[in-house]
Amino acid sequence: MAKRNFDLKTAVIAGGVAGIVSGFVKLGWEALFPPRTAERDATNPPQKFLQQLGVPEKITHSTYTYSGHQLPWVSFLMHFGFSSSFGVLYTVAGHYLPIIKLGQGTFFGAGVWAAAHLGALPMLGTVPSAKDQPAEEHLSELFGHVSWMWVTHIVANELMAEAQTKVKK
């Protein structure tokens, strides 16, 4: 897509929608390959991070009930907020720095994983240091992030192409 045809508003919307769709993929991945033990998930990283910022546990652990299951709406809000924000970042920044899209987002996803789960989150004390995280956590998070950004790439590109087709009509 030529820079002169780039529509920032469309890219933001496409990236946001792609991030939500890929956020569902990441949740599904983690259902099949849980990154943490049940004990470490009693307070998951989004909940712990919010608590580190001063949000009370009664809020971070708030749930809603669906089909008899207690589901952590605050964690989901963080999860999809993170995913849609990175979807927008990837879609917009990838237009100006195409190297970001190398490997259809897979390298970007691996980079986000490394920066967050090996760097920032351990440094903040939100998760254990990288050497103290089990191999299963590294594998689940790495491949979860890779598939998450690959889906973001595909969905955002399709939405951008569809928008471009409508403009031409």
**pLDDT tens across the length of the chain (169 residues):** 444 578 999 999 999 999 999 999 999 999 999 999 999 999 999 999 999 999 999 999 999 999 999 999 999 999 999 999 999 999 999 999 999 999 999 999 999 999 999 999 999 999 999 999 999 999 999 999 999 999 999 999 999 999 988 777 6
pTM: 0.92
Q: In Å, how far are 2, 135, 167 from 118, measured between CA atoms?
A: 36, 12, 43
Separation between Cα atoms, residue 130 and residue 140, nearest integer Å: 14
- Location of structure tokens 């989004």: 46
Q: Are 68 and 117 in contact (CB under 8 A)?
A: no
Separation between Cα atoms, residue 142 and residue 112, nearest integer Å: 9
DSSP-assigned letter for residue 127: S
Question: Residue 39's Cα: distance from chain center in Å?
Answer: 23
Strands (E), 53-162: 64-66, 69-71
Strands (E), 64-134: 64-66, 69-71
